[in-house]
Amino acid sequence: MSIVAPSLLAADFLKLESECAMLNESEADWFHLDVMDGRFVPNISFGPMIIEFIRKTTSKTCDVHLMIEEPEKYAEQFKKAGADILTVHIEACRHLHRNVQQIKALGMKAGVALNPHTPVSTLTDILHDIDLVCLMSVNPGFGGQKFIPYTLDKIRQLRRMIDEKGLAVQIEIDGGVTLDNAASIMEAGAHVLVAGNTVFKSADPKGTISLLKKL
Ligand code: DX5
Ligand code: ZN
């Protein structure tokens, strides 16, 4: 069964409280929270302050995706804000092993995200230290982009690597996930589906979450 992680980036921030309530009432498993700094990605979203407010509305897992440079400087702040999973980009971490250890020492699960051009083989020597891999299926920075089909090959390669090592690392797919491509994403070997526009721009967000859950 899939883990569905709606991305609040596509929510109506004037109605943040009711958007969170809707997710709480839905079958969504996680809240996916996209942090952008205008440096690592060409967009700025929100930071720990907003996450602290969101955290107060829910007991579901807060899955924080950092699209920022120097994430090590902010790991503690995101822990205090209530992050359960903290994901950093491999392209933003010169000392990824140290960054991962820091996240785990703070009591969070550690995720590593890969941009579309970054091969999954770069994870070989860190895979056994992490809880989650977030494969970007669009170039990070914006919601509502089109799924890059080659991601399916990357999922298959990564699934093989994880299984060969006998690990329980979760594979999360982020960007352009729709009701049409979600089944093939799951078939390729991913379990965690991030969905922004597909959920929040749907006429029936809760119903859409249920459909994703059934996959
Ligand atoms: C993109 C973000 C995604 C984004 C997904 O940089 O990391 O989480 O919100 O949005 P959709 O599902 O609309 O592509
Ligand atoms: Zn994301």
Distance from the alpha carbon of residue 85 to the mean position of ligand 2, in angstroms:
12
Tokens at residue 212, please? 């994703």
174 as an active site residue: the answer is yes
Q: How do strand 109-114 and strand 132-136 relate by DSSP bridges?
A: parallel
Write the pLDDT tens digit of every residue in 7-42: 999 999 999 999 999 999 999 999 999 999 999 999
19 lines ligand 1 (CB under 6 A): no
Distance from the alpha carbon of residue 156 to the mean position of ligand 1, in angstroms:
21
How far apart, in whole angstroms, are the C-alpha atoms of residue 168 and residue 67?
24
In 89-150, which ranges are continuous DSSP H helix?
Answer: 96-105
Which residues have C-beta within 8 Å of that of residue 155, sequence separation ≥ 6?
135, 171, 173, 185, 188, 189, 190
Q: Which ligand gives the minimal distance to the CA of 87?
A: 2
Claim: this prediction has a pTM higher than 0.95: yes
29 lines ligand 1 (CB under 6 A): no
141 lines ligand 1 (CB under 6 A): yes
Write the pLDDT tens digit of every residue in 145-159: 999 999 999 999 999
Write the pLDDT tens digit of every residue in 110-148: 999 999 999 999 999 999 999 999 999 999 999 999 999
Q: Catalytic residue among 29, 34, 37, 131, which? A: 34
Q: Does residue 190 carry a pLDDT above 90? A: yes
DSSP-derived letter for residue 201 is T
Average pLDDT over residues 49-64: 98
CA distances from 187 to 112, 133, 182, 207 (A): 22, 17, 9, 22
Q: What's the gap between Cα 136 and its chain centre?
A: 9
Write the pLDDT tens digit of every residue in 82-115: 999 999 999 999 999 999 999 999 999 999 999 9
Q: Does residue 215 carry a pLDDT above 90? A: no
The structural domain count of the chain equals 1
Report the CATH number at residue 164.
3.20.20.70
Task: Give the residue numbers spanning the domain of 203.
Answer: 3-213
Q: Are 176 and 193 in contact (CB under 8 A)?
A: no
Tell me the pLDDT band of 205, cut-offs 50, 70 and 90. very high
In the chain, which ranges are continuous DSSP H helix?
Answer: 16-25, 48-57, 75-81, 96-105, 151-164, 182-188, 197-200, 205-213
* Ligand 1 atom having least distance to the Cα of 7: 9
How far apart, in whole angstroms, are the C-alpha atoms of residue 120 and residue 115?
10
Q: Catalytic residue among 37, 125, 174, 204, which? A: 174
34 as an active site residue: the answer is yes
Tokens at residue 215, please? 């996959």
Q: What's the gap between Cα 205 and its chain centre?
A: 19
Q: Does residue 184 carry a pLDDT above 90? A: yes
Distance from the alpha carbon of residue 174 to the mean position of ligand 2, in angstroms:
6
Mean pLDDT of the chain: 98
